[in-house]
C-alpha cells in the first residue's frame, strides 16, 4: 500500500488546504537582530536582545552591520556602557568589552541583507548617551517605535559614506520607503528625529522635539547640509511624503524637504508647539491643518489648501509657489508674504489674513504675478498695509448670475430721450443715460441708446434680476491698500482701506460697489461701470445703477 495516499495523509492534506484558505499565509516578520560579522555580538537578557556594539573608531563612530535588524514589542538594547549599568528594558548589564573604555558617540546600525527593518518597540542605549542611526535601503517600518537614553535618532534608507578620517560624511539615498504605522513614532525623549529616505508614508503620528524629513534620491552631506540629486533606482514614488487619515507630525520644530522633481507631498496634520515649520517640495504640496508657534515657510511648485483646512502661524507666513490655490483659512500673527505667478483664493470660507502687513506678488523683489483671483473670499490685514502686485486682479463673486427682462420701446411706462445733433460732435463726450419712469416701480432700471447713429430714439428698457449669488469677495486693509495691476476687476464685491487706497494700473473696472476711504489716489485710465466712488469711511452697497458709455 502506498503510504503517501493513506486516509490519514489525505485528511491531513485536506486540513492544510482548508486552513490555508481560511487563514492565508502572511509574510513573516524577521526574527530579530542578526549581525553579519563578529565585530558585533547579540545576546538575550530574558527576552530582550542586547547588542554589544562594535569598537568605535577615532571619530567616535561604532559602525555595526547586520543581515537583519528588527525590534520587537519588548524592545532591544544597544550596550554603550564602559562599566556595569542598569538598563530600563533588560536590567543589570555588564560593560561592553568591545568599547575598551571608550563609549561611542554615534552608533550606526546598517542592514546589508535584503529585508526591511520592523521596529515595534523601544530601542535603548545603555551606558553613555549617543546618537543612533538605523540605515536600511530596503525600507524601515516604525509601528510603535521609540528611543531611550538617545541623543538623536536617524532612520534612513541611505547608505552611510565616510571620509578618510572615519567620520560620517554623507548619506546616499537611491531607494526605499520609511513607513510610520498606526502606533506611531515616539521621539520625545531624543533631541531630534531625522527621517532620510526616498519616500515616507505616515499612518500614525510622529512626535519629536526637532523633526526633519529629507526625501528624494539624493546625496545628503552631514557636514554642511547640502543636498545633491542622484539617479534613483526604480520608478519615482507618487508622493515623497504621504500622510494618511490618522497620520501627522507633532514637534517643537519641523523641517520637511522633498527634492525629487514632480514628486509632491500630502500633509494632513503639522503642529510645531515652540518654533517654526519649514517645507520645501519640488512638486505639488497638499497642505492640511497646520499650526506653527512662530514662522511658517512653504516653498513649492504648487500648493493646495482644501476647504475647512486651517493654516496658522504665531508670527510670519511665507508661501512661495508658482501657483497657490487656497480654499481654507490662512492667518499670520504678524506679516504674510504670498509669492507666485497665480494666486487663487476661492470660497466664502477662504481667507488670507495677516495681523500686520500682507504682500501678494510674484517674488520678494516686488515683480507682478500673472493673476490674483479672489472669488467670494477674503484677503485682509487687521491693522497693517495690504499690497497686491499682479497683471490681473479679479475680485468677484464665485457665483453671480442674472436674467434680463425687456420692455417694449413703445411702452407707456417710459419717456423718450431726445438729443440734439450738437451732442454727437464732441469725440470725447461721456454720456450717461437714465430713463425717466412715469410710474417708477421698485428695483433698478437703466437703458441703452445708439447716440451716433440716431440721436432721437426711444430707449430699450430692461429689468435685471439676480438669479444666483454667492457672498461678495472682499479685499480689506486695516491701514493702507496698494493695488498695482494692468487689469483690476471688482465685480459685485468690496475693496476698502481704513486709510489710503492707491490703485496703479491701465484699466480698472468697478461694478456695483462703493469705495470708502480717507483718500483715494488712482493712476492711469479709469473706467467705472455701474458703480460710484465715495470719500467716506465704510463700504456700502449702491442704491442706484448707472450705465455709461465712452463715445
The C-alpha atoms of residue 227 and residue 239 are separated, in whole angstroms, by: 19
The Cα 137–Cα 174 span in angstroms is 8
User: Residue 424 sits in which domain range?
Assistant: 400-469
- Counting the structural domains of the chain, the total is 1
34-48, 156-170, 439-453: least confidently modelled range: 439-453
Does residue 49 lie within any of the structural domains?
no
417 within some domain? yes
Q: How far apart are CA 7 and CA 404, in angstroms?
A: 89
Asked whether residue 546 is assigned to any structural domain, the reply reads no
Task: Provide the pLDDT confidence category of residue 27 given band limits of 50, 70 and 90.
Answer: very low
CA-nearest of 492, 488, 489, 495 to 472 is 492
Instruction: Tell me what percent of the residues of the chain surpass a pLDDT of 70.
Output: 73
Task: Decide if pLDDT at 379 tops 70.
Answer: yes
Model pLDDT for residues 186-238, shown as the tens digit of each residue: 999 999 999 999 999 999 999 999 999 999 999 999 999 999 999 999 999 99
Looking at residues 380-390, what average pLDDT do you find?
97
Task: Give the residue, 443 or 532, on which the prediction is more confident.
Answer: 443
pLDDT beyond 70 at 320: yes
Examine the pLDDT at 401 and tell me if it is beyond 80. no
Whether residue 435 is predicted with pLDDT greater than 50 in this model: the reply is: no
Task: Give the integer Cα–Cα distance in Å for 124 and 78.
Answer: 6
Assess contact for 155 and 179: CB atoms under 8 A.
no
**Phi and psi at residue 7, in whole multiples of 5°?**
-55, -35
* 443 domain-assigned: yes
Q: How far apart (Å, rounded) are the C-alpha atoms in residues 211 and 272?
A: 9
What pairing do the DSSP bridges indicate for beta strands 417-418 and 456-457? Answer: antiparallel
- Express each pLDDT in 171-189 by its tens digit: 999 999 999 999 999 999 9
Closest by Cα among 298, 375, 376 to 332: 298
pLDDT tens-digit series, residues 476-513: 999 999 999 888 888 888 999 998 888 887 665 665 44
The predicted model gives 60-73 an average pLDDT of 98
Residue 315 counted as domain residue: no
Query: 42 by DSSP, 3-state: which?
Result: strand
Asked whether residue 428 is assigned to any structural domain, the reply reads: yes
φ, ψ of residue 30 to 5 degrees: the values are: -55, 145
CA–CA dist 530, 444 (Å, integer): 11
d(CA 291, CA 266): 16
What are the tens digits of pLDDT across the range 324-355? Answer: 999 999 999 999 999 999 999 999 999 999 99
Residue 434 lies in a domain: yes
pTM above 0.85, yes or no: no
* 461 within some domain: yes
Average of per-residue pLDDT across 391-419: 66
Helix spans in 98-151 (H)? none
Question: Taking Cα atoms as reference points, which of 241, 215, 242 lies closest to residue 230?
Answer: 215
- For the chain, the average pLDDT equals 83
8 A C-beta contact, residue 369 and residue 396: no
Amino acid at each position: 500500500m502506498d503510504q503517501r495516499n493513506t486516509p490519514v495523509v489525505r485528511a491531513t492534506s485536506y486540513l492544510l488546504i482548508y486552513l490555508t484558505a481560511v487563514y492565508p499565509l502572511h509574510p513573516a516578520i524577521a526574527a530579530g537582530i542578526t549581525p553579519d560579522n563578529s565585530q558585533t555580538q547579540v545576546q538575550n537578557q530574558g527576552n530582550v536582545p542586547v547588542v554589544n556594539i562594535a569598537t568605535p573608531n577615532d571619530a567616535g563612530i561604532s559602525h555595526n552591520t547586520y543581515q537583519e535588524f528588527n525590534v520587537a514589542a519588548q524592545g532591544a538594547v544597544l550596550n554603550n556602557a564602559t562599566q556595569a549599568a542598569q538598563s530600563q528594558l533588560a536590567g543589570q548589564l555588564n560593560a561592553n568589552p568591545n568599547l575598551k573604555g571608550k563609549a561611542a558617540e554615534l552608533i550606526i546600525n546598517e542592514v546589508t541583507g535584503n529585508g526591511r527593518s520592523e521596529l515595534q518597540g523601544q530601542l535603548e542605549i545603555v551606558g553613555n548617551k549617543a546618537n543612533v542611526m538605523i540605515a536600511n535601503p530596503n525600507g524601515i517600518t516604525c509601528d510603535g517605535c521609540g528611543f531611550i537614553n538617545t541623543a538623536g535618532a536617524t532612520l534612513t534608507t541611505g547608505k552611510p559614506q565616510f571620509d578618510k578620517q572615519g567620520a560620517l560624511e554623507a548619506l546616499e539615498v537611491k531607494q526605499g520607503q520609511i513607513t510610520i504605522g498606526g502606533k506611531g513614532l515616539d521621539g520625545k525623549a531624543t533631541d531630534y528625529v531625522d527621517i532620510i529616505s526616498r519616500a515616507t508614508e505616515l499612518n500614525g503620528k510622529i512626535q519629536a522635539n526637532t523633526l526633519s524629513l529629507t526625501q528624494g534620491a539624493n546625496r545628503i552631506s552631514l557636514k554642511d547640509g547640502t543636498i545633491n540629486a542622484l539617479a534613483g533606482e526604480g520608478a519615482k514614488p507618487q508622493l515623497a511624503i504621504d500622510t494618511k487619515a490618522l497620520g501627522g507630525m507633532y514637534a517643537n520644530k519641523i523641517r520637511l524637504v522633498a527634492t525629487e522633481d514632480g514628486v509632491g507631498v500630502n500633509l494632513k496634520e503639522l503642529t510645531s508647539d515652540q518654533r517654526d515649520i519649514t517645507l520645501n517640495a519640488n512638486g505639488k504640496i497638499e497642505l492640511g491643518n497646520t499650526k506653527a508657534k512662530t514662522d511658517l515657510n512653504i516653498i513649492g511648485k504648487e500648493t493646495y489648501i482644501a476647504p475647512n483646512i486651517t493654516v496658522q502661524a504665531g508670527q510670519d507666513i511665507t508661501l512661495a509657489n508658482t501657483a497657490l490655490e487656497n480654499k481654507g483659512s490662512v492667518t499670520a500673527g504678524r506679516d504674510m508674504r504670498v509669492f507666485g505667478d497665480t494666486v487663487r483664493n476661492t470660497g466664502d470660507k477662504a481667507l488670507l489674513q495677516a495681523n500686520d502687513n500682507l504682500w501678494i506678488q510674484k517674488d520678494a523683489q516686488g515683480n507682478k504675478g500673472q493673476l490674483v483671483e479672489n472669488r467670494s473670499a477674503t484677503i485682509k490685514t487687521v491693522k497693517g498695509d495690504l499690497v497686491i502686485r499682479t497683471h490681473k486682479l479679479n475680485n468677484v463673486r464665485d457665483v453671480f448670475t442674472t436674467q434680463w427682462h425687456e420692455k417694449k420701446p413703445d411702452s407707456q411706462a417710459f419717456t423718450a430721450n431726445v438729443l440734439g445733433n450738437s451732442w454727437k460732435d464732441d469725440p470725447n463726450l461721456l454720456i450717461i443715460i437714465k430713463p425717466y419712469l412715469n410710474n417708477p416701480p421698485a428695483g433698478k432700471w437703466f437703458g441703452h441708446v445708439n447716440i451716433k447713429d440716431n440721436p432721437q430714439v426711444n430707449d430699450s428698457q430692461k429689468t435685471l434680476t439676480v438669479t444666483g449669488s454667492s457672498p461678495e469677495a472682499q479685499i480689506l486693509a486695516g491701514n493702507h491698500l496698494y493695488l498695482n495691476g494692468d487689469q483690476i476687476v471688482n465685480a459685485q464685491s468690496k475693496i476698502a482701506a481704513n486709510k489710503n487706497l492707491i490703485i496703479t494700473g491701465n484699466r480698472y473696472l468697478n461694478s456695483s460697489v462703493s469705495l470708502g476711504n480717507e483718500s483715494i489716489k488712482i493712476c492711469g485710465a479709469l473706467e467705472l461701470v455701474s458703480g460710484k466712488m465715495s470719500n467716506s469711511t465704510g463700504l456700502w452697497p449702491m442704491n442706484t445703477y448707472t450705465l455709461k458709455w465712452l463715445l
